[in-house]
Amino acid sequence: MTSDTAALRERFVGLCGGFAGGEHGAAVWDALEAMYQVPARGYHSLRHIGECLAVLDGCTATLHDRAAVELALWVHDCVYDSKRHDNEERSAAVGNAVCSALGLGEARTRVVHQLVMATKHSGAALSGDAAVMVDIDLSSFAAGWERSQEIVRGIREEYGWVPEEEFRKGRLAFLRGLSARAFLYYTAWGQGQFEGKARETIARQIEELERGGV
Protein backbone atom coordinates (compact mmCIF):
# COMPACT_ATOMS: atom_id res chain seq x y z
CA MET A 1 0.00 0.00 0.00
CA THR A 2 1.43 3.39 -1.02
CA SER A 3 1.43 6.32 1.37
CA ASP A 4 -1.29 7.98 -0.75
CA THR A 5 -3.48 4.89 -0.54
CA ALA A 6 -2.85 4.63 3.19
CA ALA A 7 -3.96 8.24 3.61
CA LEU A 8 -7.10 7.57 1.60
CA ARG A 9 -7.86 4.51 3.71
CA GLU A 10 -7.45 6.53 6.90
CA ARG A 11 -9.77 9.21 5.56
CA PHE A 12 -12.42 6.72 4.47
CA VAL A 13 -12.41 4.83 7.75
CA GLY A 14 -12.59 8.16 9.56
CA LEU A 15 -15.63 9.18 7.51
CA CYS A 16 -17.30 5.87 8.29
CA GLY A 17 -16.74 6.48 11.98
CA GLY A 18 -19.44 9.13 11.82
CA PHE A 19 -22.07 6.59 10.70
CA ALA A 20 -23.99 4.11 12.84
CA GLY A 21 -22.15 1.16 11.30
CA GLY A 22 -18.73 2.76 11.39
CA GLU A 23 -17.08 -0.38 12.74
CA HIS A 24 -17.44 -1.85 9.25
CA GLY A 25 -15.46 0.96 7.63
CA ALA A 26 -12.22 -0.98 7.21
CA ALA A 27 -13.98 -3.93 5.58
CA VAL A 28 -15.88 -1.63 3.22
CA TRP A 29 -12.61 0.10 2.34
CA ASP A 30 -11.02 -3.22 1.43
CA ALA A 31 -13.86 -3.96 -0.97
CA LEU A 32 -13.80 -0.51 -2.58
CA GLU A 33 -10.02 -0.45 -2.89
CA ALA A 34 -10.10 -3.77 -4.75
CA MET A 35 -12.65 -2.37 -7.19
CA TYR A 36 -10.61 0.75 -7.91
CA GLN A 37 -7.30 -1.10 -8.26
CA VAL A 38 -8.19 -3.28 -11.23
CA PRO A 39 -5.56 -2.89 -14.00
CA ALA A 40 -7.89 -1.32 -16.58
CA ARG A 41 -8.29 1.87 -14.54
CA GLY A 42 -6.29 4.45 -16.45
CA TYR A 43 -8.28 7.40 -15.09
CA HIS A 44 -11.25 6.18 -13.03
CA SER A 45 -9.01 5.20 -10.14
CA LEU A 46 -8.29 6.08 -6.54
CA ARG A 47 -6.20 8.99 -7.81
CA HIS A 48 -9.33 10.51 -9.32
CA ILE A 49 -11.18 9.95 -6.06
CA GLY A 50 -8.37 11.63 -4.12
CA GLU A 51 -8.48 14.62 -6.45
CA CYS A 52 -12.25 14.89 -6.02
CA LEU A 53 -11.85 14.81 -2.25
CA ALA A 54 -9.23 17.57 -2.41
CA VAL A 55 -11.70 19.72 -4.35
CA LEU A 56 -14.42 18.91 -1.81
CA ASP A 57 -12.10 20.08 0.97
CA GLY A 58 -11.81 23.47 -0.72
CA CYS A 59 -15.48 23.73 -1.62
CA THR A 60 -17.18 26.87 -0.35
CA ALA A 61 -20.61 26.05 -1.77
CA THR A 62 -23.36 25.33 0.74
CA LEU A 63 -23.86 21.60 1.26
CA HIS A 64 -26.91 20.06 2.91
CA ASP A 65 -25.20 16.76 3.76
CA ARG A 66 -21.45 16.97 3.31
CA ALA A 67 -20.82 13.44 4.63
CA ALA A 68 -23.28 11.99 2.10
CA VAL A 69 -21.56 13.90 -0.71
CA GLU A 70 -18.17 12.57 0.38
CA LEU A 71 -19.44 9.00 0.58
CA ALA A 72 -21.00 9.37 -2.87
CA LEU A 73 -17.67 10.61 -4.23
CA TRP A 74 -15.96 7.53 -2.81
CA VAL A 75 -18.30 5.14 -4.59
CA HIS A 76 -19.28 7.01 -7.76
CA ASP A 77 -16.74 5.29 -10.03
CA CYS A 78 -16.27 2.04 -8.12
CA VAL A 79 -17.76 0.12 -11.06
CA TYR A 80 -16.25 1.09 -14.39
CA ASP A 81 -16.25 -0.83 -17.66
CA SER A 82 -15.73 1.22 -20.83
CA LYS A 83 -17.75 -1.33 -22.82
CA ARG A 84 -20.90 -0.67 -20.77
CA HIS A 85 -23.24 2.29 -20.37
CA ASP A 86 -24.62 1.50 -16.93
CA ASN A 87 -21.56 2.14 -14.78
CA GLU A 88 -23.31 4.80 -12.71
CA GLU A 89 -26.27 2.52 -12.06
CA ARG A 90 -23.98 -0.30 -11.00
CA SER A 91 -21.85 2.02 -8.85
CA ALA A 92 -25.00 3.38 -7.23
CA ALA A 93 -26.07 -0.21 -6.45
CA VAL A 94 -22.74 -0.76 -4.71
CA GLY A 95 -23.36 2.52 -2.92
CA ASN A 96 -26.64 1.13 -1.64
CA ALA A 97 -24.81 -1.87 -0.18
CA VAL A 98 -22.14 0.38 1.35
CA CYS A 99 -24.79 2.57 2.95
CA SER A 100 -26.54 -0.50 4.34
CA ALA A 101 -23.30 -1.83 5.82
CA LEU A 102 -22.59 1.55 7.41
CA GLY A 103 -26.10 1.91 8.82
CA LEU A 104 -27.09 5.08 6.98
CA GLY A 105 -30.80 4.33 6.83
CA GLU A 106 -33.21 4.35 3.90
CA ALA A 107 -33.54 8.11 3.40
CA ARG A 108 -29.82 8.84 3.45
CA THR A 109 -29.09 5.82 1.27
CA ARG A 110 -31.48 7.25 -1.30
CA VAL A 111 -29.59 10.56 -1.17
CA VAL A 112 -26.24 8.85 -1.82
CA HIS A 113 -27.80 6.86 -4.67
CA GLN A 114 -29.12 10.05 -6.30
CA LEU A 115 -25.77 11.79 -5.93
CA VAL A 116 -23.94 8.94 -7.65
CA MET A 117 -26.49 8.89 -10.46
CA ALA A 118 -25.98 12.63 -10.99
CA THR A 119 -22.46 11.83 -12.26
CA LYS A 120 -23.99 10.26 -15.35
CA HIS A 121 -23.67 13.81 -16.74
CA SER A 122 -26.90 13.66 -18.71
CA GLY A 123 -27.12 17.45 -18.90
CA ALA A 124 -30.31 17.49 -16.84
CA ALA A 125 -30.86 20.43 -14.51
CA LEU A 126 -29.33 19.89 -11.08
CA SER A 127 -29.41 21.79 -7.82
CA GLY A 128 -28.25 21.49 -4.24
CA ASP A 129 -25.76 18.79 -3.31
CA ALA A 130 -26.15 17.02 -6.66
CA ALA A 131 -24.98 20.15 -8.50
CA VAL A 132 -21.93 20.41 -6.26
CA MET A 133 -21.23 16.70 -6.72
CA VAL A 134 -21.16 17.03 -10.50
CA ASP A 135 -19.07 20.20 -10.40
CA ILE A 136 -16.49 18.34 -8.30
CA ASP A 137 -16.46 15.39 -10.69
CA LEU A 138 -15.90 17.72 -13.66
CA SER A 139 -13.29 19.85 -11.89
CA SER A 140 -10.56 17.75 -13.54
CA PHE A 141 -11.00 19.83 -16.70
CA ALA A 142 -9.60 22.77 -14.74
CA ALA A 143 -6.61 20.84 -13.34
CA GLY A 144 -4.14 22.33 -15.83
CA TRP A 145 -2.91 21.21 -19.24
CA GLU A 146 -0.34 18.65 -18.06
CA ARG A 147 -2.82 16.85 -15.81
CA SER A 148 -5.51 17.07 -18.49
CA GLN A 149 -3.21 15.26 -20.91
CA GLU A 150 -2.50 12.57 -18.33
CA ILE A 151 -6.24 12.13 -17.94
CA VAL A 152 -6.76 11.81 -21.70
CA ARG A 153 -4.03 9.18 -21.87
CA GLY A 154 -5.66 7.35 -18.98
CA ILE A 155 -9.06 7.41 -20.68
CA ARG A 156 -7.46 6.23 -23.93
CA GLU A 157 -5.97 3.34 -21.99
CA GLU A 158 -9.42 2.44 -20.66
CA TYR A 159 -10.73 2.48 -24.23
CA GLY A 160 -7.78 0.54 -25.63
CA TRP A 161 -10.19 -1.80 -27.42
CA VAL A 162 -11.51 1.12 -29.53
CA PRO A 163 -9.68 1.97 -32.80
CA GLU A 164 -7.87 5.30 -32.61
CA GLU A 165 -9.97 7.14 -35.18
CA GLU A 166 -13.19 5.98 -33.56
CA PHE A 167 -11.92 7.06 -30.15
CA ARG A 168 -10.96 10.48 -31.54
CA LYS A 169 -14.42 11.01 -33.04
CA GLY A 170 -16.13 9.98 -29.82
CA ARG A 171 -13.93 12.19 -27.70
CA LEU A 172 -14.50 15.14 -30.04
CA ALA A 173 -18.26 14.69 -29.86
CA PHE A 174 -18.13 14.60 -26.07
CA LEU A 175 -15.95 17.71 -25.79
CA ARG A 176 -17.98 19.66 -28.35
CA GLY A 177 -21.11 18.79 -26.42
CA LEU A 178 -19.58 20.17 -23.24
CA SER A 179 -18.32 23.28 -25.03
CA ALA A 180 -21.80 24.02 -26.39
CA ARG A 181 -23.30 24.31 -22.92
CA ALA A 182 -24.02 27.76 -21.60
CA PHE A 183 -22.15 26.74 -18.45
CA LEU A 184 -19.99 23.70 -17.78
CA TYR A 185 -20.62 23.96 -14.05
CA TYR A 186 -23.92 24.14 -12.21
CA THR A 187 -23.09 26.21 -9.14
CA ALA A 188 -21.78 29.75 -8.75
CA TRP A 189 -18.88 28.22 -6.83
CA GLY A 190 -18.03 25.82 -9.67
CA GLN A 191 -18.34 28.51 -12.31
CA GLY A 192 -16.11 30.85 -10.36
CA GLN A 193 -13.49 28.22 -9.59
CA PHE A 194 -13.33 26.17 -12.77
CA GLU A 195 -15.30 27.55 -15.73
CA GLY A 196 -12.64 29.71 -17.41
CA LYS A 197 -9.73 27.29 -17.10
CA ALA A 198 -11.88 24.30 -18.05
CA ARG A 199 -13.11 26.00 -21.22
CA GLU A 200 -9.53 26.82 -22.20
CA THR A 201 -8.51 23.19 -21.70
CA ILE A 202 -11.50 21.83 -23.62
CA ALA A 203 -10.91 24.22 -26.53
CA ARG A 204 -7.25 23.21 -26.67
CA GLN A 205 -8.12 19.50 -26.54
CA ILE A 206 -10.60 19.96 -29.38
CA GLU A 207 -7.90 21.66 -31.47
CA GLU A 208 -5.47 18.79 -30.75
CA LEU A 209 -8.04 16.17 -31.76
CA GLU A 210 -9.00 18.05 -34.93
CA ARG A 211 -5.31 17.99 -35.90
CA GLY A 212 -5.27 14.24 -35.49
CA GLY A 213 -3.84 13.99 -31.99
CA VAL A 214 -5.22 11.98 -29.09
- Overall domain count for the chain: 1
- Nearest residue to 45 (alpha-carbon basis) of 201, 142, 153: 153
Domain with 137 in it: 3-210
The b/e string for 79-112 (b: 16+ C-beta within 10 A; e otherwise) is bbebeeeebbeebbbbbbebbebbebeeebbebb
Tell me the pLDDT of the chain (214 aa) as tens digits: 577 999 999 999 999 999 999 999 999 999 999 999 998 899 999 999 999 999 999 999 999 999 999 999 999 999 999 999 999 999 999 999 999 999 999 999 999 999 999 999 887 789 999 999 999 999 999 999 999 999 999 999 999 999 999 999 999 999 999 999 999 999 999 999 999 999 999 999 999 999 987 7
| Residue 55 contacts residue 197 (beta carbons within 8 Å) | no
